[in-house]
Amino acid sequence: MKSETIGKRIRQRRTELKLTQKDVANAIKGVSHVAISQWESDTTKPNSENLVDLSTVLECDLLWLLRGEGSSSNVMPASIGTNKVPLISYVQAGTWTGIDDLKESTGDFNYIYTFIDTSDDAFALEIKGDSMEPDFKAGDVIIIDPRIEPRAGEFVAAINGDYEATFKKYRPIGDIDELGRHHFELVPLNSDYPTLSSLKQEIRIIGTMIEHRIYRRKR
C-alpha cells in the first residue's frame, strides 16, 4: 500500500528495517530523534539535505521518499551499518582508553554507524579548523581505530602532550628510538601550519583513520 506523505514513508521504511527513531537520528549528523518524530508525524518536513541522508540511512530511493514513486527499497540490499562508534571530543580523544571508562565520567555518547569492521576501541572525531584542508574540512567526521598501526601516508590522531588530540598525515623518518620504534612526522595538508616531529617533541599516536565522511556544506 502506498504511503501518502513523506512522514508516513519515513516511518514505513524505518519500521521495515527495524530501526528506532534514535537509530536514524544517530546516523544523520545534526539531527535529533525529536526531529525524526516530527518528520514522521508530518509536523515538520526534512530539508533537501536531510532527505538525501534519509534515503541513504533508510536504503530507499530518493524519489520514492519524496513523492512515493518507484520502490521503497533501493538496488542495494545491504542494511544500515550496525557497527557503531562513539563520537567524542578532541579532549576526550587525548585521554581515550575505551568507552566504558569514559562513560563513567561523561555519560552517553552520540554514535556514528559504519559498515566497516572496527575494534572495540574505535571512536569518531569531527574535524576542527583548517589545518588539513583541502581534503578534510571542518565538520567532516573521521573514524579512528587505535588497534591499527599507521603506514606511511595514512592519517592518524595523535597527542603531543597537550592532552588534546590532533589529526595529521603520518610520515615515518629513518631514525629509530631506543625502543626500536621509528621516529615520524605529523604533516598538515595546509602548508600554513607547521609539521610536528617526534625527534623534537614527545608525540603519541592514538590511532589510524579508517573512514572519512564528507558532509555537505551550505554554499
- CATH number, residue 132: 2.10.109.10
Mark out the alpha helices in the chain (DSSP H runs).
6-16, 21-26, 33-40, 48-57, 62-67, 90-94, 99-106
Residue 78 has pLDDT above 50, yes or no: no
Domain carrying residue 16: 6-67
CB neighbours of 25 closer than 8 A, spacing ≥ 6? 31, 32, 33, 35, 36
Q: Do 24 and 57 sit in the same domain of this protein? A: yes
| pLDDT at 76 exceeding the cut of 80 | no
Give pLDDT, residue 75. Answer: 41
Name the pLDDT band for 100 (thresholds 50, 70, 90).
low
Which whole number is the average pLDDT over 104-128? 79
pLDDT digits (tens, 9 = 90+) for 154-172: 999 999 876 778 999 999 9
Domain CATH number, residue 53:
1.10.260.40
The pLDDT of residue 64 is 86
Angle at which helices 6-16 and 33-40 cross, to 10° = 120
Report pLDDT for 213: 87
Q: How far apart are CA 98 and CA 95, in angstroms?
A: 9
Report the alpha-carbon distance of residue 128 to residue 144 in Å, rounded.
15
Residue 100 and residue 10 in one domain? no
Place of cell 527513531: 21
DSSP annotation of 216 reads P
More confident call, 101 vs 212: 212
Does the residue 74 lie in any domain? no
Identify the residue with better confidence: 52 or 163: 52
User: What is the rounded average pLDDT for all residues in the chain?
Assistant: 83
Domain count, the chain: 2
Does residue 62 share a domain with residue 119?
A: no
Highest mean pLDDT: which range of 60-69, 141-150, 207-216? 141-150
Task: Please report the pLDDT score of residue 171 as a whole number.
Answer: 95
Please give the model's pTM, rounded to 2 decimal places: 0.61
* Pair (112, 200) in one structural domain: yes
Q: Are residues 135 and 201 in the same domain?
A: yes
Q: Do 27 and 106 belong together in one domain?
A: no
Residue 40 near residue 21, CB atoms below 8 Å: yes
The reply to whether 18 falls in a domain is yes
Are residues 139 and 180 both part of a single domain?
yes
What value does the mean pLDDT take over residues 123-137?
93
Q: Are 96 and 105 in contact (CB under 8 A)?
A: no
What is the rounded average pLDDT of the residues 139-159?
Answer: 93
Same domain, 119 and 186: yes
Question: Are residue 50 and residue 120 in the same domain, yes or no?
Answer: no
* 91 and 190 assigned to the same domain: yes
CB distance 112 to 140 below 8 Å: no
